[in-house]
């Protein structure tokens, strides 16, 4: 399941098209895309995709001073038509079938705790921004159980009272962020102890890296006057200009 809302500056549906192509190639799972009417009108017909349209979308959130409509993920439990669901960012490109193997477990909720910068510049460190470590809501894998419903209900509560929780956990990033909301919910519902997570770190292409080419196997990246190619590795791409690739 993908959440895809175009903004005045970014055609997220174009990024999602590449994401869908890779899901069809490597995961072969049914696909549901949650979007608004405006974004839906930009899609070409895709026989393998179902669409859920919601127009009451929170459009107040920003990231780096740009519109960022990414606050609906707390509703994924309700939006999902599946008993077992993978929710992923549209800019998460699955060049492998790793997510299928993660689904083939008995865990009812999995999320990444770690991400790393593929350019080796450590641009994803947030150690001083909160009293707790964030999680990465880039990918969520969940089953519809009572416990998981409590997780999503708690995230909804946190979203509706986000400034209070920012003060409580001393989160310096005041705009709503799913990563912190899920981190708080899991921290509280686990009794402030460790919880199950995806054991691997998310390979992440930072926003200031340029994506030169993308194919079915991987992508070529330019960063700090260096070029390199990554293949057969799932990648989270933060540079939204990939829409032009």
pLDDT at 93: 97
Confidence of residue 219 (pLDDT cuts 50, 70, 90): very high
Give the 3-state secondary structure of residue 133.
Answer: coil
The H or E element spanning position 88 is strand 84-88
pLDDT at 132: 86
Task: Specify if 101 maps to a domain.
Answer: yes
pLDDT at 121: 87
The token pair at 83 is 């008993």
Domain that holds residue 103: 2-120+136-144+196-240
Task: Specify if 86 maps to a domain.
Answer: yes
Task: Specify if 173 maps to a domain.
Answer: no
For 52-67, the pLDDT digits (tens) are 999 888 777 777 667 7
CA distance 2 to 97: 17
Task: Specify if 183 maps to a domain.
Answer: no
pLDDT at 127: 61
The token pair at 234 is 């799932």
pLDDT at 194: 83
Task: Please determine, for residue 245, whether its predicted confidence score (pLDDT) is greater than 60.
Answer: no
Task: Specify if 82 maps to a domain.
Answer: yes
The token pair at 13 is 């549906």
Task: Please determine, for residue 186, whether its predicted confidence score (pLDDT) is greater than 90.
Answer: yes
For 153-170, the pLDDT digits (tens) are 999 999 999 999 999 999
Of 129 and 136, more confident: 136
Task: Specify if 159 maps to a domain.
Answer: no
Look at residues 52, 134, 41 and name the one whose alpha carbon lies nearest to residue 85: 52
Query: pTM of the entire structure?
Result: 0.92
Kindly report the number of other CB atoms within 10 A of residue 135's CB atom: 25
Q: How many domains does the chain have?
A: 1
């Amino acid at each position: 399941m993908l959440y895809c809302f175009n903004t005045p500056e970014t055609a997220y549906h174009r990024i999602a098209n590449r994401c869908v192509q890779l899901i069809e190639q490597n995961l072969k799972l049914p696909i549901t895309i949650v979007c608004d009417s405006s974004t839906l009108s930009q899609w070409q017909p895709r026989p393998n995709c179902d669409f859920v349209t919601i127009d009451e979308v929170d459009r107040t959130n920003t990231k780096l001073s740009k519109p960022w409509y990414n606050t609906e993920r707390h509703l994924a439990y309700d939006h999902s038509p599946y008993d077992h669901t993978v929710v992923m960012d549209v800019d998460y490109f699955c060049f492998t079938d790793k997510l299928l193997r993660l689904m083939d477990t008995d865990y009812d909720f999995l999320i990444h705790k770690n991400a790393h910068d593929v350019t080796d510049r450590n641009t994803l460190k947030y150690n001083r921004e909160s009293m707790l470590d964030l999680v990465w809501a880039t990918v969520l894998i969940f089953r519809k159980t009572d416990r998981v419903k409590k997780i999503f209900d708690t995230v909804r509560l946190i979203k509706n009272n986000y400034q209070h929780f920012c003060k409580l956990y001393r989160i310096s990033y005041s705009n709503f962020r799913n990563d912190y909301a899920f981190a708080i919910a899991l921290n509280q519902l686990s009794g402030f102890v460790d919880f199950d997570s995806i054991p691997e770190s998310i390979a992440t292409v930072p926003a200031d890296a340029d994506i030169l080419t993308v194919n079915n196997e991987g992508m070529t990246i330019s960063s700090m006057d260096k070029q390199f190619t990554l293949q057969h590795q799932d990648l989270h791409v933060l540079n939204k200009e990939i829409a032009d690739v």
